[in-house]
Structure 1
Amino acid sequence: MAQRFGGKYSPQPMDAGTSDSPGYSGVAPGRTVTASEPVHPLARRPVWLIVAAIPFLPSAFGGGPGALIRDLGAFALVAGAAFLLREGLKAEAAWQARSAARRPVLPRKILGSIVFGLGLGLGAGQAGILGAIAIGAVAAILALTAFGLDPLHDKGMEGFDGIQHDRAARAIAEGEKRLSEMREAIRRTGDIALSDRVERFARGAQALFRAVEQDPGDLALARRYMGVYLDGARDATNRFVELWIAHRDTAARTAYEALLTDLETDFASRTRTLIEGGRQDLTLEIEVLRERLSREGLRADPVAETPPPPES
């Protein structure tokens, strides 16, 4: 029977929360775990705009100061447009991933499309003023068609206190930042199993974020988890990474994974509490509404609506 090859320096499967295998299990330098951040399907397209603008660079030299300013300026505008479009796609992906979100303050995709049109119009200056304007306008329209518009309205904000929602959004952004710092720190170990373990913890924390996002009023009940607990997890991750890189201390690894398990359990418990609390509130509101409808005579008694049994 075929057997899996294994050794001190070979990646080996490891269950979550266990670290009894000897050696450097799961170590595979150069491999990273993809973070669970929203990614727009068109996120790589803006790079091709920069590639397409490369011909502006050689033509900038040898044609005098006018050509130098025109072509370098055109390339800079196209590169800036690509950056704006990429940031706009990232903002749109984050907006789509959330059930409640405000529209982006700056419409980056629209602005990027305009800058792209200006860049191509400047680069086509030899075609005359009217020709450059026409080329720039067509380029801006094509960019808008290719990348679409920015989200221009808030989503899921009906009935929410704007100030309360902003506080929840800031707390969630800070929590996501702490999770990103944990991911970056644990990648320094080059250990896939550890990166997977941190990623599972991050998904549990993000479930709590989504619960707070659904009802910003729950922020007071989750603030300690999104602040103090995540700060502690980040600091513990940094200390563990330094210790692991220096000494490969398996006891420290076991303690660190146990800490993540405990925190993950606490986060899951708090998330269930928030969700079940929301369901209890909804059930209570439904019962109160039914009682009021009954008092107002707008809801018939279910018993009275039951048809009598047929006579024998």
Structure 2
Amino acid sequence: MAKRFGGRFSPGMQQDNLNPAPAAPIRHRLAGRPKYVTMAAVPFLFGAFFQDPAGMAASLAAFGVIASAMWMTGEGLAAEAAYEVRRVARRPAIPRKLFGSVLTGLGLGLGVAEPGSLAGAGVMGVTGLVLHWLAFGTDPMRDKGIAGTDSFQGERAQKMIDEAETHLAQMRDAIRRLGDRWLDARVDRFAATVEDLFDRVRSNPGDLSAARRYLGVYLTGARDASVKFADLYRQIPDPATRASYEAFLDDLEQDFNAKSRRLLEGDKSDLDIEISVLRERLAREGVRASEPAQLEAPTTETARFLDGLLTPDRDKAR
């Protein structure tokens, strides 16, 4: 089946398509190590066929356990890479690298175990566990950027974000099937804007109600539109349809950017109010700053309302 070529200098390519660069996939710097450990365990697999039935079962089990440990470790490295990239993140719910280290020690113990020498197998298992820890490190054990948030609201926000990430992944997959790297880069740029909103909600779960429509309705519509566009564009690569889809992404990206800015401005207004209240309390206690910084007046309606509530206390202090 013939495939339409769309390159950098092809007719109908808009300049906007040339600006975004394809986003590099999130990959841990140690992501290649598990496969080498699995390859090192291959002698257990081949050597099993030259032993008695009990030895064969032990060697096959050793290889299977070590291979499973490396798969678990690879998943842990991927989770750690995603954790490191995000400004706001929760620790992985399952310590995959810890389980991988335990399975590695168990696999090595099974591989060298002999009748009457369980102590030696135990020593080898502990050695494998320690070597795994030295080679791959530990799992992230604490949340990042969400200290002091309500756990119940945080769980609700994370559940909503997980569903939104599923919609975003489906949107990416639909466009990726077209094999157009410029469209892939454009969708990745939009995804980066959406993930910035995810970080805002993670850091302040109280913003979930304000961002619910964006995480739910808007992303669901973007996914459905992307799937329909991909199906249509695969059959009829019409430049007008492509331009319409790109304009749709531009509008969505602007909306998400604007929402993120409004949430950030709301956080700044809340901070200004908290600082004002703290200074009023210090003034009532007789503590005076040498050169008090001048705070800018609240700009949002909520900030002005709260500032008005504080005005009687300010008059009494004076």
Same fold (TM over 0.5): yes
Residue 11 of structure 1 is matched in structure 2 by: 7
The residue aligned with 1:5 is none
Deviation at 1:237, TM superposition (A): 0.5
Separation in structure 1 between the aligned mates of residue 272 and residue 217 of structure 2, nearest angstrom: 32
* 2:98/2:138 contact within 8 Å kept: yes
Query: Is the 8 Å Cα contact of residues 99 and 213 (structure 1) preserved in structure 2?
Result: no
Q: Which runs of 5+ in 1 are unaligned?
A: 1-7, 27-31, 304-312
Shift of 1:155: 3.2
1:170 and 2:159 correspond: yes
Within the candidate set 107, 118, 135, 2:106 is matched to 118
Unaligned runs of 5+ in 2: 293-318
Is the aligned partner of 1:225 residue 2:214?
A: yes
> Are 2:9 and 1:20 aligned?
no
Q: Distance in 1 between matches of 2:252 and 2:232?
A: 21
Q: Is the 8 A contact 1:43 1:90 kept in 2?
A: yes
Equivalent residue in structure 2 for 1:75, among 63, 66, 69: 63
Cα distance in 2 between the residues matched to 1:79 and 1:13 = 47
Could you say what secondary structure the match of 2:90 adopts?
Answer: coil
Structure 2 partner of 1:268: 257
Aligned-residue offset at 1:301 = 7.0
Change (3 A) 1:21 1:104: closer
Percent pairwise identity? 46
Aligned residue for 1:308? none
Residues 165-213 of structure 1: CA deviation (Å, up to 9, x unaligned):
1111122222222211111111111111111111111111111111112
Partner of 1:140: 129
Which residue is equivalent to 1:255?
A: 244
Matching residue of 2:302: none
Q: How far 1:300 sits from its partner (Å)?
A: 4.9
For 1:193, which of 179, 182, 187 is the aligned residue?
Answer: 182
Residue 60 of structure 2 aligns to a residue whose secondary structure is: helix
Counterparts of 2:246 and 2:24, CA distance in 1: 19
Task: Quote the residue 1:47 is aligned against.
Answer: 35
Asked if structure 1 preserves the Cα contact closer than 8 Å seen for 2:101 and 2:132, the reply is yes
- On the 8 A contact 2:44/2:111 being kept in 1, the answer is yes
CA distance in 2, matches of 1:99, 1:247: 41
- How far 1:302 moved relative to its partner? 4.7
Please state how far the C-alpha of 1:98 moved relative to its aligned partner: 3.4
Partner of 2:79: 91
Greater mean alpha carbon deviation, residues 91-100 or residues 145-154: 91-100
User: Relative to 1, partners in 2 of residues 1:302 and 1:107: Cα closer, same or farther, differing over 3 Å?
Assistant: closer
Letter of the aligned partner of 2:61 in structure 1? G
Quickly say closer, same or farther: Cα 1:218–1:34, change in 2 above 3 A. same
The count of corresponding residues between Structure 1 and Structure 2 is 284
How far, CA to CA, are the matches of 1:205 and 1:296 in structure 2?
Answer: 45
The amino acid across from 2:12 in the alignment is: D
Indicate whether 1:183 and 2:183 are aligned.
no
Query: C-alpha offsets along residues 246-282 of structure 1, whole Å, 9 cap, x if unaligned?
Result: 1112221111111101000100000000001100111
The structure in which a higher percent of residues are helix is 2
Distance 1:157 1:12 in 2: 42
Within 1, Cα distance between the matches of 2:256 and 2:123?
56
Please give the secondary structure, in 2, of the residue aligned with 1:39.
coil
Aligned partner of 2:287 in structure 1 is 298
2:303 is matched with which residue? none
Aligned with 2:42: secondary structure? Answer: coil
Asked if the contact 2:146/2:204 (under 8 Å) is kept, the reply is: no
Change in 2 beyond 3 A, CA 1:104/1:21:
closer
Q: Which amino acid aligns with 1:177?
A: T
Taking the aligned partners of 2:160 and 2:184, their CA distance within structure 1 comes to 24
Say which SS state the counterpart of residue 96 (structure 1) adopts.
helix
Q: Distance in 1 between matches of 2:137 and 2:253?
A: 39
| TM-score normalised by L of structure 2 | 0.83
Residues 117, 213 of structure 1: CA spacing in aligned structure 2 closer, same or farther, 3 A cutoff?
same
Question: For residue 109 of structure 1, what is the aligned residue in structure 2?
Answer: 97
Decide whether aligned partners of structure 1 residues 174 and 113 sit closer, same or farther in structure 2, where only a CA change above 3 A counts.
same
Q: How does 1:210-249 map to 2 (within 5 A)?
A: 210-249=199-238
Q: Which has the higher contact order (CA 8 A, sep 6+)?
A: 1
CA pair 13-269 structure 1, distance change in 2 beyond 3 A: farther
